[in-house]
Structure 1
Amino acid sequence: MQKRRILLVVLALGILIVWRQLHKEEEAKLIHLTGETMGVVPYSVKYLDMAERDYKEEIDSLLVDFNQSLSTYIHDSEVSEFNRTDSIYYRTPYFYPMLNISKDIFEKSEGAFDPTIGPLVNAWGFGPEKKSTLDSALVDSLLMTVGFDNVLFDNKKAAKLPGVYLDFSATAKGYAVDVVASFLEEMGIHNFMVEIGGEVVCNGKNDKNTYWKIGIEKPDMSPEMSDLYATTFVKNTALATSGNYRNYYKEEGRIISHTISPYTGYSIRHNLLSASIYAPSCALADGFATACMVLGVDKSIAMIESNNELEGLLIFSDEKGNLNYYASEGITSIIEIVE
């Protein structure tokens, strides 16, 4: 009886192998789409599709609508209108979810992530407006307008206190990745990788039937592309990385990074160089990675370990000036440090 069962299993496997050889043309094909969004931010979308459908036109259209809602660089965008007025009724499907996501990250990071930091981001020269001539009085004045609890909203409209300015740049790329990923799922595609400016969502497996493998850059302030510090499999989740080694300038011998602390109003200065966060959505991963860059190593570890939705890889400079890292327990098996 046992031998008969084994023979039946072997026969079934043999039939499956022969069938797959005869129907290779019916296997899902890898589609790779590339382009730019948010000005000059590159995107890369890969997915497996039996019908070989090309969704570039639809994806580009989605991203145009997305930017028309949340880009502070577009004068008539939804967020720009909100920043000029005291309240608005939503006119796109993106603004209200972005407010909800922002509130969640703001509260769980104890204010380290705060999209009302916009006036200070602009003043320091990292927004759509020209850099201001800064002194402590101006920083203190702008800091008084910062605080996401100054934004009130429900599912129909949003309002804010005078002087409050929203800037979703810390989560926009991640949220855009989620929007494209949701579109692919609606189209019946379940094996894909969506990447915008380094932030990714991966679902299912690639054309080699393995989980999608993503590289994490070595923090390096040289203008050229850095070497890899680590590689990681991304299994049905999102991954976003934030760091201060790309977007910065030097002023009077001091490095001014693009991460402005909502606590102090000044550019952050600590030994955390890069934060890569895994989360259920890319908007969450993006926002929490930004929060880490404000908090520094120890407080970021505490935040990651207290939130069961998050995993993280933090790269920092140790006491001897060498690169070191922290990896949370849930990702140790899928992270490989590049020697």
Structure 2
Amino acid sequence: MKAILVLLFLLVAPLATANDVRRFEGEVMGTTWSVNAVLPAEADPARIRAGIQAEVDRVDLQMSTWKPASDLSRFNSAPAGTWQVLPVEFYDVLSYALQLASSSGGAYDPTVGPLVNLWGFGPERHSHEAPTPEAIATARARVGWQHVQLDPKNHRALQPGGVYVDLSSVAKGFSVDQVARWLDAQGIDAYLVEVGGELRGRGRKPDGTPWHVGIERPGAAAGAVDDVDQVERIVSLRDRAIATSGDYRHFFESGGKVFSHHIDPRTGYPVAHKIASVSIIAADCMHADSLGTTMTVLGPDAGMAYAKTHGIAVLFVLYGEHGFEERMSPAFAAALKS
């Protein structure tokens, strides 16, 4: 559901010249990835970069709606009534997404794809204009996480017909976690992984300090967060992840109205409340990514209630009468201190 993320910018400029920290970069999912890592002496940087790229590419080939040959596209186009065997990672992400959909009362729904496409934010691009109520009703008839059945024993999912799963609100976060797991397996225990602005850190830099990231202030000029006044909050990532999403760079206007790229699966319309951005701190990036979308759709009041019930660390930045206003959950306040 998240076609674009508000970037979380790395406050790690000195790393570019540090002798014992290596930076790797690449492209995937229509965006970029980067890794800052403290490598063992015997590590081969070329092999490490290739391994990272292979991990993010594997997630993309499984879960992209933009690739006709992906496993997700294969499921979406499968005949009605057929069971589709899914790769283990894809199955696990879909299973988690369905659980979150149930827990959130459908505010998060991986089957929202028909609505995302209808509003012009998916791979079926068209000129941005508000669809008719009739078109929205038709698309909504295809949306509903309850329609997807899973077969855990055989890692299969049932395509009941017309279901179009969109995992863009979780795939980038999952790819961050995949890279982190791969780095762990290589014996690398200090790193900061980023894909499309979503981050996960482990360990510490060689000077003993944690990895610091800045949450971009809504409305900041792209790339301007080198200025301190363009940063909303600074967070230390010690064995945890963060994801931020917002609407101030990805929206369109039609008929004198502004429409967000966050679609509420329960109504078929873009969310209309006063959220500028949402940041989530979690143990892993899959949860941080998807919960950011969930909080955005729920809105600041219902979202905060959900966050308090489930112990979610969330920071809402809202459009207020006199500028931006912050609301943070107790778990987020605690995370800032840890």
* Gap regions ≥5 residues in structure 1: 1-26
- Name the stretch that deviates more: 93-102 or 48-57: 48-57
- Name the stretch that deviates more: 182-191 or 224-233: 224-233
The CA distance in 2 between the partners of 1:93 and 1:333, in whole Å, is 34
| Equivalent pair of 1:29/1:49 in contact (CA under 8 Å) | yes
Percent identity at matched positions? 32
| Corresponding residue number in structure 1 for 2:20 | 29
Normalised TM-score (structure 2): 0.85
Q: Describe the superposition over 1:178-222 as per-residue Cα deviations: whole angstroms up to 9, x where unpaired.
A: 110110011111111111111111111123211111110111186
| Corresponding residue number in structure 2 for 1:131 | 126
Q: Does 1:332 find its partner at 2:325?
A: no
Relative distance call for 1:177 and 1:88 in structure 2 (3 A) is farther
The alignment of Structure 1 onto Structure 2 pairs a total of residues equal to 307
Q: Does 1:119 find its partner at 2:119?
A: no
| Corresponding residue number in structure 2 for 1:283 | 286
| Corresponding residue number in structure 1 for 2:202 | 203
Shift of 1:301: 0.7
Letter matched to residue 178 of structure 1:
D
| Equivalent pair of 2:271/2:297 in contact (CA under 8 Å) | yes
Larger radius of gyration: 1
Shift of 1:223: 5.9
Alignment equivalent of 1:69, drawn from 41, 62, 65 = 62
Shift of 1:107: 2.1
The CA distance in 2 between the partners of 1:99 and 1:106, in whole Å, is 10
| Corresponding residue number in structure 1 for 2:316 | 314
* Gap regions ≥5 residues in structure 2: 1-17
Alignment equivalent of 1:230, drawn from 233, 251, 268 = 233
CA RMSD of aligned residues (A): 2.0
Normalised TM-score (structure 1): 0.85
Counterpart of 1:210 in 2: which secondary structure? coil
| Equivalent pair of 1:101/1:284 in contact (CA under 8 Å) | no
| Corresponding residue number in structure 2 for 1:20 | none
1:245-264, aligned counterparts within 5 Å?
245-264=248-267
| Equivalent pair of 1:28/1:48 in contact (CA under 8 Å) | no
Q: Does 1:142 find its partner at 2:143?
A: no
- Name the stretch that deviates more: 122-131 or 226-235: 226-235
Q: Describe the superposition over 1:158-177 as per-residue Cα deviations: whole angstroms up to 9, x where unpaired.
A: 11321110010111110110
Letter matched to residue 190 of structure 1:
D
Letter matched to residue 63 of structure 2:
L
Shift of 1:38: 0.7
| Corresponding residue number in structure 2 for 1:82 | 75
Counterpart of 2:169 in 1: which secondary structure? helix
| Equivalent pair of 2:280/2:289 in contact (CA under 8 Å) | yes
| Runs ≥4 residues deviating over 6 A | none
Alignment equivalent of 1:42, drawn from 24, 32, 44 = 32
